[in-house]
Structure formats: structure tokens, C-alpha cells
């Protein structure tokens, strides 16, 4: 495909991108799991940057309560399936981008078959159960994983690279949260999800370009206190997911 | 008093403060966090049994999983 580079002029100026880096972005395949508060901004900035092949996995329909943070949708989309609306919006936004949709729930059965087609996976789901599943599958399929999550005014971000034997999501949270906690619905502000989702796009783009990324580290963002803390995440000797590498 | 490094910052605590006391005095609900004491994960059931000593390192990380 002959792509006009005019649209990417301002990023081609970046020393770390240039024509060679832009070609890497066009050739890249990135899967985003969850097209909600994190997935919306992540997908939008991946498409804006010219990631040539984007996968999008979400089986939900748009609900009114999504609209404070899920910026790919608007009020006329209520009750429609998110995956197809998101695909249309993203392909209209940047026709250089091909979006493949997986309007299904990720399970132990289908996840490896989906992951094997991608260079990077973004975890932008809304629950811990899926996060543990995605982390395990990424390690098993040797696919790099960019994890982001939000709760109230807080957010976290980390990059997991199985081929480099880094620590994993389960090293961060070795004890799973109680059902009391996971069944509770927490508040989320759109702007907080926007920050972390945008950072997930940024980490993915940097990974594709071979630049520094947040491996073996956890960024903890607190929007109330305006703090970013970066803590080391050590690989746990007893981690059932990453210990054998 | 003892000095404990909590999430990277030194805090002065009363002698014989245990992790449960510390969480309570900081209004942190133990079910909402992962606690690491000197690099070891502490089971939430045992937090009252771990007394903080001078030089200890405590990491308290909230369960953040939404999107
Ligand atoms: Zn691990």
C-alpha cells in the first residue's frame, strides 16, 4: 500500500522515529484487549501513529454509564456492540490502519490463537480475572504485554516481555484480590483512564521502535496527589507464571 | 520510635507498631491492597502478627484493575 507520509510529518521529525521507524509502525501488529476507558485512548493513539494492523477484542455493548470515559462511543451507540463501532471510528480516523475485531470473550481456549498473531498485546480490560488470564497467555505465547489499569483517581502501568524473562502481572499481585473486592464497582474518571490508556499506546510504540520501556518496573499514578512513583518489580521465585521463563 | 520505609519514603512509627495498626492509622482497608514486607508478600490474615522494626521496608500497593 502506498501511504502518504504527510499525515505523519510531525512524528517523522522525531529522531527516534524517522522513515525507518514509521515503517516499523506500519508493519506492526498490536492487539488491544478491552475497548473501554483505557482501550479507547490506547486504540486512538495507536491509529493516529499509523500502527498498520490493530486487533481489538471486546464483546460488550455500549451502556450509558460507559460514556464518562469511553471516548470512542457516543449516545447514539447505546446497546450497539463496541467492537464494530470502534473499528469504524478508527478506520475512518486513519484509513492507513486495518482493524480486525474479536467480538468475543477471551478464554483459555481462544486466547493463544488470538495472541499468536500479534507483536504486542495491550491489557485494557476492566477486571482482575481477565488480567490474570491475559498475563498467563502472554507469557505462554511469548508476546510482550503492556498492562494498564485504573481505579478511582489511581492508575498503574507496566510492560512485560516474556522473551526477556521479565517479571509479570502476577509478580505484582501474587495474591488475587478477594471476591468482596472484585464484586465492588469503583468510580473511574475519564481523564484518569485517558492518561493510563495513552501511556499504554506510548509504551507499545516505544517497544516496537526498540526504545526504553517500563520493564520490571511499575508506574503508580495518583491523580489526586499529582504523583508518579516508579517501583521495581522483582521476579518472584515462586511465581507460577514467569518463574521458568 | 522506629523508622520504616513505606512506599519509598521514611516514616517514623511508634515502637511495636504492627502492619494492621499501621494500615488502620492510615485509613487503608487491608482487603484492597497487596502488602510486601522486606520483599515478602504478607498474607492479609497475618498482618497483625508482623511488628515493624527499625529499617524495615514496607510496600503497600492498592489493587488497581479497572479499565
Ligand atoms: Zn511472575
Of B7, B8, B65, the CB nearest to A128: B65
Alpha helices in chain A (DSSP H): 9-12, 18-27, 39-49, 82-93, 111-115, 128-141, 169-172, 179-182, 190-209
- B67 belongs to a structural domain: no
Burial readout B1-24 (b: 16 or more C-beta within 10 A, e: otherwise): ebebebeeeeeebeeebbbebbbe
User: A134 C-alpha to center of ligand 1: Å?
Assistant: 12
Domains along chain A? 6-232 (3.40.50.720)
Task: Give the pLDDT confidence of A123-168 residue by residue, as tens digits.
Answer: 999 999 999 999 999 999 999 999 999 999 999 999 999 999 999 9
Number of compact structural domains in chain B? 1
User: A236 C-alpha to center of ligand 1: Å?
Assistant: 6
B45 touches A: beta carbon within 8 Å: no
Task: Give the pLDDT confidence of B31-55 residue by residue, as tens digits.
Answer: 999 999 999 999 999 999 999 999 9
Residue count of chain A: 245
C-alpha cell at A91: 478506520
- B24 belongs to a structural domain: yes
Q: B59: which chain A residues are within 8 Å (Cβ-Cβ)? A: 231
- B56 belongs to a structural domain: yes
- DSSP sequence for B2-55: EEEEETTEEEEE-TT-BHHHHHHHTT--GGGEEEEETTEEPPGGGGGG-B--TT
- B23 belongs to a structural domain: yes
pLDDT at A245: 45
Identify the helix (H) or strand (E) that includes residue A240: none
Q: Which residues of chain A have pLDDT under 50?
A: 245
Domain ranges, residue B42: 2-62
- Enter the pTM of the model: 0.96
Of A148, A181, A229, the CB nearest to B32: A181
Percent with pLDDT over 90 in chain B = 100
pLDDT at A69: 97
- Chain A: residue whose CA lies nearest to B66: A126
* Pairs of residues, one from chain A and one from chain B, whose beta carbons lie less than 8 Å apart: 66
Question: Would the CB atoms of A175 and B43 count as touching at under 8 Å?
Answer: yes
User: A5 C-alpha to center of ligand 1: Å?
Assistant: 41
**CATH number of the CATH domain containing B6:** 3.10.20.30
A220 touches B: beta carbon within 8 Å: yes
- Chain A: residue whose CA lies nearest to B9: A229
pLDDT at A119: 98
- B9 belongs to a structural domain: yes
C-alpha cell at A42: 490506547
A181 touches B: beta carbon within 8 Å: yes
C-alpha cell at A46: 495507536
B41 touches A: beta carbon within 8 Å: yes
pLDDT at A4: 83
Amino acid at each position: 500500500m502506498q501511504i502518504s507520509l504527510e499525515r505523519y510529518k510531525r512524528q517523522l521529525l522525531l529522531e527516534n522515529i524517522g522513515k525507518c521507524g514509521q515503517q516499523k509502525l506500519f508493519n506492526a501488529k498490536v492487539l488491544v484487549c478491552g475497548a473501554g476507558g483505557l482501550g479507547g485512548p490506547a486504540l486512538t493513539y495507536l491509529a493516529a501513529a499509523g500502527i498498520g494492523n490493530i486487533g481489538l477484542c471486546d464483546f460488550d455493548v455500549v451502556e450509558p454509564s460507559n460514556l464518562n470515559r469511553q471516548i470512542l462511543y457516543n449516545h447514539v451507540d447505546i446497546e450497539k456492540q463496541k467492537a464494530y463501532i470502534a473499528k469504524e471510528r478508527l478506520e475512518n480516523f486513519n484509513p492507513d490502519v486495518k482493524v480486525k475485531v474479536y467480538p468475543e470473550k477471551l478464554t483459555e481456549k481462544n486466547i493463544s490463537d488470538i495472541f499468536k498473531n500479534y507483536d504486542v498485546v495491550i491489557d485494557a480490560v476492566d477486571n482482575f480475572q481477565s488480567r490474570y488470564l491475559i498475563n498467563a497467555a502472554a507469557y505462554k505465547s511469548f508476546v510482550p504485554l503492556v498492562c494498564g489499569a485504573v481505579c478511582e483517581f489511581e492508575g498503574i502501568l507496566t510492560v512485560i516481555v516474556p522473551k526477556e524473562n521479565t517479571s509479570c502481572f502476577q509478580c505484582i499481585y501474587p495474591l488475587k484480590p478477594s471476591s468482596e473486592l472484585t464484586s465492588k464497582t469503583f468510580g473511574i474518571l475519564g481523564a484518569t483512564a485517558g492518561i493510563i490508556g495513552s501511556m499504554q499506546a506510548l509504551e507499545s510504540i516505544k517497544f516496537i521502535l526498540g526504545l526504553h520501556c517500563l520493564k520490571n518496573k511499575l508506574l503508580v499514578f495518583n491523580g489526586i496527589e499529582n504523583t508518579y512513583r516508579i517501583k521495581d518489580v522483582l521476579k518472584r521465585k515462586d511465581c507460577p507464571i514467569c518463574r521458568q521463563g | 520510635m522506629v523508622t520504616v520505609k513505606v512506599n519509598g519514603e521514611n516514616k517514623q512509627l511508634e515502637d511495636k507498631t504492627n502492619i494492621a495498626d499501621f494500615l488502620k492509622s492510615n485509613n487503608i482497608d487491608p482487603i484492597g491492597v497487596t502488602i510486601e514486607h522486606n520483599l515478602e508478600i504478607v498474607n492479609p490474615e497475618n498482618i497483625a502478627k508482623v511488628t515493624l522494626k527499625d529499617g524495615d521496608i514496607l510496600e503497600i500497593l492498592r489493587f488497581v484493575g479497572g479499565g
